Amino acid sequence: MTMVEQPRVIGTRPIRPDGVDKVTGRARYGADVKLQGLLHGRILRSPHAHARILRIDTSRAEALPGVMAVVTGRDLPVADDRVEELGESSANLRELSHNVLAGDKVLYRGHAVAAVAATSPHIAVEALRRIEVEYEPLPPVLDVRDAMRADAPLLDENRRTREMGQIAPDAPPSNIASHNQFQQGDMDAGWAAADVIVEREFTTKMVHQGYIEPHTSTALWGADGYLTIWTSTQGSFVVRGQVSEILRLPVSHIRVVPMEIGGGFGGKMPVYTDVPAAMLSRRTGRPVKVTMDRTEVFEGSGPTSGTYIRVKVGATNGGRLTAAQAYLAYEAGAYPGSPVGAAMLCMLAPYDIPAITIDGYDVVVNKPKTAAYRAPGAPTGAFAMEQVVDELAETLGLDPLQFRLKNASKEGTRQSTGQPFRRIGNIETLQAALATPHYNQPLEGPNRGRGVASGYWMNAGLKTSMTASVSPDGTVSLIEGATDIGGTRASLAMQLAETLGIPYEAVKPTVVDSDAVGYTDVTGGSRTTYAGGVAAYETGTDIIRQLKERAAAIWQVDAADVAYDAGVLRAAGDPSKSMTFAEIAARLHATGAPVVGRAAVNATSPGGAFGTHICDVEVDPDTGKVTILRYTVVQDAGTAIHPSYVEGQMQGGVSQGIGWALNEEYYYDENGRMANASFLDYRMPTALDLPMIETVIVEVPNPGHPFGVRGVGEVPIVPPLAAVANAVYRATGQRFRDLPMSPRRIVEQLHGLA
Amino acid sequence: MTMVEQPRVIGTRPIRPDGVDKVTGRARYGADVKLQGLLHGRILRSPHAHARILRIDTSRAEALPGVMAVVTGRDLPVADDRVEELGESSANLRELSHNVLAGDKVLYRGHAVAAVAATSPHIAVEALRRIEVEYEPLPPVLDVRDAMRADAPLLDENRRTREMGQIAPDAPPSNIASHNQFQQGDMDAGWAAADVIVEREFTTKMVHQGYIEPHTSTALWGADGYLTIWTSTQGSFVVRGQVSEILRLPVSHIRVVPMEIGGGFGGKMPVYTDVPAAMLSRRTGRPVKVTMDRTEVFEGSGPTSGTYIRVKVGATNGGRLTAAQAYLAYEAGAYPGSPVGAAMLCMLAPYDIPAITIDGYDVVVNKPKTAAYRAPGAPTGAFAMEQVVDELAETLGLDPLQFRLKNASKEGTRQSTGQPFRRIGNIETLQAALATPHYNQPLEGPNRGRGVASGYWMNAGLKTSMTASVSPDGTVSLIEGATDIGGTRASLAMQLAETLGIPYEAVKPTVVDSDAVGYTDVTGGSRTTYAGGVAAYETGTDIIRQLKERAAAIWQVDAADVAYDAGVLRAAGDPSKSMTFAEIAARLHATGAPVVGRAAVNATSPGGAFGTHICDVEVDPDTGKVTILRYTVVQDAGTAIHPSYVEGQMQGGVSQGIGWALNEEYYYDENGRMANASFLDYRMPTALDLPMIETVIVEVPNPGHPFGVRGVGEVPIVPPLAAVANAVYRATGQRFRDLPMSPRRIVEQLHGLA
Tens digit of pLDDT for each residue in B377-435? 999 999 999 999 999 999 999 999 999 999 999 999 999 999 999 999 999 999 999 99
B178-224 pLDDT per residue, tens? 999 999 999 999 999 999 999 999 999 999 999 999 999 999 999 99
Q: Which amino acid is at A505?
A: E
Cβ distance of A475 and B20 shorter than 8 Å? no
Q: What is the pLDDT of residue B89?
A: 67
Q: Which helix (H) or strand (E) holds B292?
A: none
- Candidate from A223, A463, A516 with C-beta closest to B479: A516
Q: What is the pLDDT of residue B44?
A: 98
Q: How confident is the model at residue B6 (pLDDT cuts 50, 70, 90)?
A: confident
3-state secondary structure B599-660: EEEEECCCCCEEEEEEEEEEECCCCCCEEEEEEEEEEECCCCCCHHHHHHHHHHHHHHHHHH
Q: What are phi and psi of B79, to 5 degrees?
A: -85, 155
Q: Rounded to whole angstroms, how far apart are CA atoms A379 and A653? A: 10
Per CB-CB distance under 8 Å, the chain A contacts of B34 are: 34
- Nearest residue in chain B measured CA to CA from A237: B471
CB B84 within 8 Å of CB B91: yes
What's the gap in Å between the CA of A472 and the closest CA on chain B?
8
Neighbours of B667 (CB within 10 A): 16
- Candidate from B34, B463, B515 with C-beta closest to A508: B515
- Nearest residue in chain B measured CA to CA from A26: B222
Cβ distance of B24 and A590 shorter than 8 Å? no
Q: Rounded to whole angstroms, how far apart are CA atoms A716 and A271? A: 26
Q: Rounded to whole angstroms, how far apart are CA atoms A32 and B123? A: 27
Pairing of strands A693-698, B462-470: unpaired
Instruction: With a cut of 60, say whether residue B282 has pLDDT above it.
Output: yes
Provide mean pLDDT across the span B33-37.
92
Q: Rounded to whole angstroms, how far apart are CA atoms B309 and B381? A: 7
What's the gap in Å between the CA of A38 and the closest CA on chain B?
12
CB A339 within 8 Å of CB A302: no
Cβ distance of B477 and A252 shorter than 8 Å? yes
- Residue from A18, A20, A515 whose CB has the most chain B CBs within 10 Å, to mutate: A515
Pairing of strands A568-571, A562-565: antiparallel
CA distances from A291 to A242, A245, A259 (A): 19, 22, 14
| Torsion sign over Cα B29, B31, B36, B38 | positive
Cβ distance of A595 and B600 shorter than 8 Å? yes
CB A67 within 8 Å of CB A123: yes
Cβ distance of B596 and A518 shorter than 8 Å? yes
Per CB-CB distance under 8 Å, the chain A contacts of B589 are: 85, 463, 519
Cβ distance of B469 and A512 shorter than 8 Å? no
Q: Rounded to whole angstroms, how far apart are CA atoms B69 and B173? A: 38
What's the gap in Å between the CA of B282 and the closest CA on chain A?
14
What angle (nearest 5°) sits at the alpha carbon of residue A534, between those of residues A531 and A540? 140
- Candidate from A21, A223, A465 with C-beta closest to B222: A21
How many A-B residue pairs are in contact by the CB < 8 A criterion?
144
Share of chain A above pLDDT 90, in %: 96
- Candidate from B224, B465, B593 with C-beta closest to A596: B465
| Maximal C-alpha separation, chain B | 87
Neighbours of A541 (CB within 10 A): 15
Q: What are phi and psi of A405, to 5 degrees?
A: -60, -40
Q: Rounded to whole angstroms, how far apart are CA atoms A87 and A96? A: 14
- Nearest residue in chain B measured CA to CA from A244: B473
Pairing of strands B89-92, B39-45: unpaired
Give which of B413, B529, B517 is closest to B460, Cα–Cα: B529
DSSP state of B154: P
Return the CA Rg of chain A. Answer: 27
The arrangement of strands across the sheet holding A254-258 comes to A67-72, A112-118, A39-45, A288-291, A216-221, A227-231, A254-258
Q: What is the pLDDT of residue B312?
A: 98
Q: Which residues pair with B635 in a beta bridge?
A: B611, B697
Cβ distance of A251 and B473 shorter than 8 Å? yes
Give Cβ neighbours of residue B165 (< 8 Å, ≥ 6 apart). Answer: B180
- Candidate from A85, A465, A592 with C-beta closest to B602: A592
Per CB-CB distance under 8 Å, the chain A contacts of B516 are: 477, 479, 510, 512, 516
Provide mean pLDDT across the span B538-542.
98
Give Cβ neighbours of residue B435 (< 8 Å, ≥ 6 apart). Answer: none
Coil, strand, or helix at residue B245? helix
Per CB-CB distance under 8 Å, the chain A contacts of B475 are: 250-252
What angle (nearest 5°) sits at the alpha carbon of residue B548, between those of residues B543 and B553? 125
What's the gap in Å between the CA of A469 and the closest CA on chain B?
5
Complex-level ipTM beyond the 0.95 threshold = no
Q: What is the pLDDT of residue A89?
A: 67
Q: How confident is the model at residue B45 (pLDDT cuts 50, 70, 90)?
A: very high
- Residue from A224, A496, A541 whose CB has the most chain B CBs within 10 Å, to mutate: A224
What angle (nearest 5°) sits at the alpha carbon of residue A745, between those of residues A742 and A751? 135
Q: What is the pLDDT of residue A6?
A: 87
B230-243 pLDDT per residue, tens? 999 999 999 999 99
Give which of B251, B223, B297, B284 is closest to B71, Cα–Cα: B284
DSSP state of B572: T
Per CB-CB distance under 8 Å, the chain B contacts of A244 are: 473
B434-488 pLDDT per residue, tens? 999 999 999 999 999 999 999 999 999 999 999 999 999 999 999 999 999 999 9
Q: How confident is the model at residue B80 (pLDDT cuts 50, 70, 90)?
A: confident
Give Cβ neighbours of residue B699 (< 8 Å, ≥ 6 apart). Answer: B1, B2, B425, B636, B637, B638, B639, B640, B708
Phi-psi region of B333 (alpha: psi -120 to 50; beta: other; left: phi over 0): left
Q: Rounded to whole angstroms, how far apart are CA atoms A712 and B490? A: 45
Report how far Cα A227 is from the mean position of its chain's Cα atoms.
27
Cβ distance of B463 and A508 shorter than 8 Å? no
- Nearest residue in chain B measured CA to CA from A518: B469
Q: Which helix (H) or strand (E) holds B454?
A: strand B448-457
Q: Rounded to whole angstroms, how far apart are CA atoms B555 and B481? A: 37
Which segments in chain A show pLDDT lower than 50? 1-2
Q: What is the pLDDT of residue B77?
A: 94
CB A114 within 8 Å of CB A28: no
- Residue from A86, A227, A238, A469 whose CB has the most chain B CBs within 10 Å, to mutate: A469
CB A333 within 8 Å of CB A365: yes
CB A390 within 8 Å of CB A453: yes
